[in-house]
Amino acid sequence: MNIPPAAASAPLPPENGGELAVQPDSAATLREAILRRLTYSVGKNQASASEYDWYLAVVYATRDRIVEGWMASTNAAYVHGPKRVYYLSLEFLIGRLLGDALNNLGLTEAMRAATRELGVDLDRLRTLEPDAALGNGGLGRLAACFMESMATLSIAAHGYGIRYDHGLFRQVLKDGWQQEYPEDWLALGNPWEFKRPEVCYRIGFGGAVEALTAPDGATRYVWKPAEYVEAIAYDTPVVGWRGAHVNTLRLWSARACDPLQLDVFNAGDYVGAVADKMRAEAISKVLYPSDETPAGQELRLRQEYFFASSSLQDALRRHLKQYQEVRSLAEHVAIQLNDTHPAISVAELMRLLVDVHGIAWDEAWKITQGTISYTNHTLLPEALESWPVPLLERMLPRQMQIIYLINALHLDNVRKSGHTDARLIAAVSMIDEHAGRRVRMGHLAFIGSHKVNGVSALHSKLLKQTVFRDFSTLYPERIVNKTNGITFRRWLFEANPGLTRLLADTVGDAIYDNPLALRGVAPYADDAAFVQEFAAVKRQNKVALAKIILERCHVKVDPDALFDVQIKRVHEYKRQLLNILETVALYDAIRAQPYLEWAPRVKIFAGKAAASYHQAKLIIKLANDVANVINADPTVRGLLKVAYLPNYNVSLAESIIPASDLSEQISTAGMEASGTGNMKLALNGALTIGTLDGANVEIKEHVGDENIFIFGMTSEQVAQRRGRGIDMRETIARSPSLGEVLDAIGSGVFSPDDPGRYAGLVDVLTQHDHFLVCEDFDAYYACQRDAATKWLDRASWWKSSVLNTAGMGWFSSDRTIAEYADEIWKTQTQAKG
């Protein structure tokens, strides 16, 4: 990518502790830096160096150019005292960092030239970097985009999470079934991180709470945990665009206070001697351990408290270092809870303020509410998390006391404000008394925050109408909207350099700093020469993806076919099943009517199902079974191919998204909070087919009705249909095509080895279709035929494709973060461009 000269530089310490100065880094200086690092950090010479040795040397040379700016940014935060932002997220789906860092420093081409002189291929080296899968999907990837945008906007920020030894599992498809294997991203170490053994916090669990009476008669509570675990910090620098600011992603690793019980070891019980070590280290061992068992639930709670407590202790330590007292915390610190996982932070911050720092309850509560804000990412009640009261009382007894008191005072205030209805009181209580007493963590996060935000206009509206309806009545100003965004540096500049060059050559270098400059591309949607180049870039990306599909799926696809893509976590509400049913219907239609002009199509799926989510795993199996039948059928004449790419991750997304023509965003309306995959795909010129759900609503507004394919029920219609029942027998009877598809799947046409494999799946769709797959099927099938018609009209398709790219500038994560900073965090940003 030809980044403008101003970007082709590396940061140097500023003279005044403010903005960073820059100076060019030539290929020659980078070459020497690589060789120095190869010798003194890797311990190899050129003759003996392996490819991985060269990779390490390049990373270290790149990291050196980040560290000086990192120190300068850290120093500036202490000197100038801007409000600090702490972003707490159980997931950070950061992916590979080398390309990101080189891109943001403007060093990609210089580094490529330097490695070429050394006889090494930079692009090959980048593939050696493990994909750090410290997240499950959109939530974790959003956190990574936000961290990069906070650095780009020069916000003094820290990201806090867990340094999982094994991130999201590695997915292998065996005979179409998902198999999970440990993801081992740390097997060879992590050259990007800096271990901080001196940054260590003791995290307690269990034990009892002792009430002590002070000389003035006041009661002070002292928690005496039965068990302690140490949290050790590992820091990764996050460099912003053009290297002008660098923030920190601090991840916590769990360690036993005493790694070995020597007396037990000497007594011959070698396994028992390390039992405490294994128990402690299990906290940071795996992302999202299964919570189907009581032990799994306990581990999940231990993870969430472990990372919340260590992060809060670290934030308070830093604040005390700078301001010497905690009463000004809300003035100088903003803590953002990314979803409900860190909700225990509300109770923990109160414990630290009241029990450790001696702040009176009322003042501590004012500080806590003034400091914390909460982002909700889901309307699914089960995803809001709740914990059994006995579990919290056993694991976190003092925090449970605090939750009880917060709840009691909260309900007192509700009654004092005139709301005495028993239903409302029960609905807004943090303790759910139905089917076993449980603590509602979403309620705790809401009550303990000064602002609660949804992540798309529709989602925020539905938050007020559904899961937080009663809270919205009590606190009408608390819920605000912050529509998600994506970082264009990763998802356009880095992932699609060919398109980036074309856009910059056409409308100027302003696109590098101002995403809204993409609007200047719109007039070229009717320019034949530009459209031809635009289409050529897309085809080149499709050729590259076709090669990946052949290598990983053993399916040969035509790059001139319509690439119809659904890539996301596999969940029933995301309705991969609807896509599969339409695929079967299309397959039947192509065979029945071979004389029609069919648009050649490749259906591309990728995504993982949670290890314990059996229905989602069955859907993956069905997709692969359908693929096997269709791909082997000569009567289709290559007009339809299906590929399920295994082990979906950030790096695979970077290959799929630039090559996509049609973006499947077909969730049941009202159930997708936002979606950011839809933004990435549209930015790269894919047309969206989807429901009016999540950010699809806003994408439609920005790209134009004629450049998006919308079908199906609205969220209001979904609620009405569910109100009438979700038995779909009448709906199926009205749709011959759907009935034939369900009969074929249910009778074993696609599973001859096990004809009854999908009978239960079909029964659910027929009699208990909660996600309304059948109700939306005919509308979806018709919309797909509209997409095919448009595809055959190449001028019309490419015009819409160009207008999608041109209309996506507003969906930059820089815009999102600027809105957080202005309206929630009340901190300043430094505008770019």
Q: Say which DSSP state 276 is in.
A: H
Catalytic annotation present for 166: no
What is the identity of the amino acid at 577? L
Is residue 300 within 8 A of residue 282, CB to CB? The reply is no
Asked whether the CA dihedral 89, 94, 95, 97 is positive or negative, the reply is negative
Q: How many CA atoms lie within 13 A of 246 on its CB side?
A: 29
Is residue 157 within 8 A of residue 150, CB to CB? The reply is yes
534-540 contacts, C-beta under 8 A, 24 or more apart: 534/499, 534/502, 534/685, 534/798, 534/801, 534/802, 535/794, 535/798, 535/801, 537/496, 537/498, 537/499, 537/502, 538/499, 538/658, 538/659, 538/661, 538/685, 538/801, 540/498
Asked whether the CA dihedral 158, 159, 160, 166 is positive or negative, the reply is negative
Distance CA 347, CA 345 (A): 6
Is residue 452 within 8 A of residue 498, CB to CB? The reply is no
Is residue 142 within 8 A of residue 55, CB to CB? The reply is no
Candidate list 242, 300, 569, 617, residue with the active-site label: 569
Asked whether the CA dihedral 262, 263, 268, 269 is positive or negative, the reply is negative
Is residue 372 within 8 A of residue 447, CB to CB? The reply is no
Distance CA 23, CA 17 (A): 17
Candidate list 340, 676, 688, 731, residue with the active-site label: 676
Q: Which residues pair with 605 in a beta bridge?
A: 566, 644
Quote the distance between the C-alpha of residue 398 and its chain's center.
32
Candidate list 574, 603, 702, 790, residue with the active-site label: 574
Catalytic annotation present for 547: no
Catalytic annotation present for 285: no
Give the burial string for 323-348 (b: 16+ CB within 10 Å, else e): eeebeebbebbbbbbbbbbbbbbbbb
Helix or strand holding residue 124 (H, E): helix 122-127
Is residue 257 within 8 A of residue 266, CB to CB? The reply is no
The single residue listed with the structure tokens 């819920």 is: 479
Q: How many CA atoms lie within 13 A of 251 on its CB side?
A: 28
* Angle value at C-alpha 21, between 17 and 27, nearest 5 degrees: 140
Candidate list 250, 351, 377, 489, residue with the active-site label: 377
In 319-466, beta strands by DSSP E: 333-338, 372-375, 386-388, 431-432, 438-440, 452-454
Q: 3-state DSSP: the chain helix, strand, coil percent, rounded to 5?
A: 55, 15, 30
Candidate list 302, 568, 575, 621, residue with the active-site label: 568
What is the identity of the amino acid at 388? P
Distance CA 141, CA 145 (A): 6
Is residue 748 within 8 A of residue 757, CB to CB? The reply is yes
What value does the CA radius of gyration of the chain take, rounded to a whole number of Å?
Answer: 27
Q: Taking Cα atoms as reference points, which of 720, 651, 743 lies closest to residue 94?
A: 651
Give 279-293 as a 3 state SS string: HHHHHHCECCCCCCC
Catalytic annotation present for 568: yes
Tokens of 689: 């087919």
Is residue 455 within 8 A of residue 484, CB to CB? The reply is yes
Candidate list 341, 680, 757, 799, residue with the active-site label: 680
Give Cα separations from 520 to 1, 406, 500, 502, 503 (angstroms): 20, 52, 14, 13, 9
The three-state secondary structure class of 341 is: coil
Is residue 670 within 8 A of residue 432, CB to CB? The reply is no
Quote the distance between the C-alpha of residue 206 and its chain's center.
32
Catalytic annotation present for 680: yes
| Catalytic positions | 377, 568-569, 574, 676, 680
